[in-house]
Structure 1
Amino acid sequence: MSLCFRPRAALAILALSAGLAASAAHAEIVVTDDAGRQLRLAAPAKRIVSLAPHVTELLFAAGAGDKVVGAVNYSDYPEAATRLPQVGGYNNVDLEAVAALKPDLVVAWKTGNRGGNLDRLSALGIPVYVNEPRSLEDVASSLETLGRLAGTQLSAFHAAAAFRERQAMLQKRYGQRPPVRTFYQIWNQPLMTVNGEHLISKVIALCGGENVFAGLPQLAPTVGTEAVLAANPEAIVASGMGEARPEWLDQWKNWDRLTASQRGNLFFIPPELIQRHTPRILDGASRLCAQLEEARARR
């Protein structure tokens, strides 16, 4: 863009900011959540409880961190989230603790929270928004929707735009690279992976990889060792439970007929960078893309 158009662009951004602020201040907020339910708020939420670690992170990324008054265990990013009152775990929410915080919005996780608990919160008159990103675009749109609900549209807009821009850069660089057949391992006992509908599988595709178990019907299926050997992935990527590479990843070296083992393509990515549906998933994607490039170089 030439310099002569920049003032016009700046004015457009200012107009957008003013429009977003006016909308947040006066308009009723009507959204449809990821469970297909319509939610109406008369005004932006001021007291939000998060029922999943990824939701907590999304709320902070959308500029609504100062409106979050409670969260579930393991809501550990950003650092400010660790100081929030806790309301149990995502699969065993303490409903009394949630109600005691007097939220005007609860943001839940579709596949993580128990439906009965969400129904009970709704019965108490607490608005519940259900979140479930299944694609990278869903992460960006989640930021925008949460920004609308919290009245922080401008911050959320910028966060979503930055996410989309970074995703596009990764797609341009790696999306057309020669495919690498990839097995993503969540855990070893039971041996778990992801199917093609899972967000992690979309990250694999972003990097030019092919999920060898994309065709399975379950979102996070259990598979057997023989199935992995039969699929013969060129790369195995594991997450585990924390920052340390899991010891069980190297057990694949015992199968010397496995291409991933033969070529030393046994990779690790910390789970918080690839298993949370947040902007940081592109940090995990960057690592994964670099790892699949290593696998290509070893052919």
Structure 2
Amino acid sequence: MRLLLWCGLFLAAPLITAAADTPGLADKATAPKRIISLAPHITELLYAIGAGGQVVGVSAYSDYPPAAADLPEVANYAGVNFEAILALNPDLVIAWKTGNVAADISRLQQFGIKVAFSDPLLISDIATELRALGQLTGHSEQAETAARRFEQQLAELRQTYKTKTRLPVFFSMGTAPLSSVANQAWPAQAIRLCAANNIIADSKGDYPQPGIEQVLQAQPAVIIQATAGGKPADTRFWQAYPVIPAVTLNQFITVDADLLYRTSPRTLQGIKQLCQGLDRFR
């Protein structure tokens, strides 16, 4: 669960916002030269708009693009390394508003470090974040290009799947305990986009823990699981329930967690992977 958290699975409301003393629109001359990213999705967004050369420190699991993995690691799910951040002398830190520890961010600001925040809520918000980061980093033109490309690809996906036959599915985040997704959880949004009906869509909260009885009653036609790198998922738990159509028909889909969960332009690759997997069973 901690790895999924740091990959950007859990979402919250605001898009990129800035602290009162953070610069807004920047050109090449005034753009920050030393940026620290405190979440993997932020790192990917920065590289996507051409600002990778300004990034001097990153969080744990910032492994894409490969160049990011060579940068100093200054934070993880537990908190930030203040000494490491101060040693890098950043002129801007971009934090994940609900993924980073609030007290840590407050302390960074007390040190006089300028902080901006990122927190995409909807899949479509990624384009907005790209544009906002472009303004912050002096890469507005590149960001606009990346945002339009993302919007076009998202629109094409929506057009392709808006009339597809809908399948009842269950997204299994884990089995001990049994956990899933609903409402505005990132995978739940992907399920809707791919023309599938989440059998627990009406659950309270984005990450419910349904009882197996609920799954048995709903009779999903497909069970979806996400793994690191899209490696084959362990389906042994489900073999005890052959009355579920997905189990009887061996209709399981495994998707790449890094692609599907992380709120960056690459999430469309994960969503396409999910949609194409579902197409096999329509």
SS in 2 for 1:34: coil
What is the root-mean-square deviation of aligned Cα atoms in Å?
2.0
Determine if the alignment matches structure 1 residue 276 to structure 2 residue 252: no
Greater CA drift, 99-108 or 187-196: 187-196
- Structure 1 CA distance for aligned equivalents of residues 164 and 132 of structure 2: 33
Question: What residue number does 1:221 align with?
Answer: 208
Tell me: CA distance 1:35–1:64, structure 2 relative to 1, closer, same or farther (3 Å): closer
Deviations 1:254-280 (A, max 9, x none): 211112112222110010110100111
Highest relative contact order (Cα 8 Å, sep 6+), 1 or 2?
A: 2
SS in 2 for 1:273: helix
Deviations 1:17-46 (A, max 9, x none): xxxxxxxxxxxxxxx953866553064222
- Select 2:165's aligned residue among 178, 202, 209: 178
- State the shift of 1:206 in Å: 1.1
SS in 2 for 1:103: coil
Which segments of 5 or more consecutive residues in structure 1 lack a partner in the other structure? 1-31
Greater CA drift, 219-228 or 268-277: 219-228
- Structure 2 CA distance for aligned equivalents of residues 65 and 35 of structure 1: 18
Highest Rg: 1 or 2? 1
Determine if the alignment matches structure 1 residue 41 to structure 2 residue 29: no
- State the shift of 1:231 in Å: 2.8
- Structure 1 CA distance for aligned equivalents of residues 41 and 134 of structure 2: 15
SS in 1 for 2:276: helix
Question: What residue number does 2:272 align with?
Answer: 286
Deviations 1:136-163 (A, max 9, x none): 1111111111111111111111111111
Question: What residue number does 1:72 align with?
Answer: 59
The residue type equivalent to 1:41 in the other structure is P
Question: What residue number does 1:60 align with?
Answer: 47
- Structure 2 CA distance for aligned equivalents of residues 37 and 150 of structure 1: 13
SS in 1 for 2:238: helix
Check whether the contact 1:195–1:220 (CA below 8 A) recurs between aligned residues: yes
- Structure 2 CA distance for aligned equivalents of residues 150 and 277 of structure 1: 19
The residue type equivalent to 2:256 in the other structure is P
Determine if the alignment matches structure 1 residue 108 to structure 2 residue 90: no
- Structure 1 CA distance for aligned equivalents of residues 201 and 114 of structure 2: 35
Matches within 5 A, 1:76-155: 76-155=63-142
Determine if the alignment matches structure 1 residue 295 to structure 2 residue 281: yes
- Select 2:197's aligned residue among 186, 191, 210: 210
- Structure 2 CA distance for aligned equivalents of residues 156 and 234 of structure 1: 40
The residue type equivalent to 1:295 in the other structure is F
Tell me: CA distance 1:130–1:221, structure 2 relative to 1, closer, same or farther (3 Å): farther
Structure whose residues are more often helix by fraction = 1
Task: Give the structure-1-normalised TM-score.
Answer: 0.82
Task: Give the structure-2-normalised TM-score.
Answer: 0.87
Question: What residue number does 2:217 align with?
Answer: 230
Tell me: CA distance 1:261–1:280, structure 2 relative to 1, closer, same or farther (3 Å): same
The residue type equivalent to 2:267 in the other structure is I
Which segments of 5 or more consecutive residues in structure 2 lack a partner in the other structure? 1-12, 25-29
- State the shift of 1:89 in Å: 0.8
Tell me: CA distance 1:76–1:35, structure 2 relative to 1, closer, same or farther (3 Å): closer
- Structure 1 CA distance for aligned equivalents of residues 70 and 257 of structure 2: 22
Tell me: CA distance 1:139–1:91, structure 2 relative to 1, closer, same or farther (3 Å): farther
Question: What residue number does 2:249 align with?
Answer: 263
Aligned-pair identity in percent equals 36
Number of residues of Structure 1 aligned to a counterpart in Structure 2: 264
- State the shift of 1:204 in Å: 1.1
Tell me: CA distance 1:83–1:246, structure 2 relative to 1, closer, same or farther (3 Å): same
- State the shift of 1:209 in Å: 1.2
Check whether the contact 2:18–2:115 (CA below 8 A) recurs between aligned residues: no
- Structure 2 CA distance for aligned equivalents of residues 60 and 180 of structure 1: 36
Question: What residue number does 2:7 align with?
Answer: none
SS in 2 for 1:287: helix
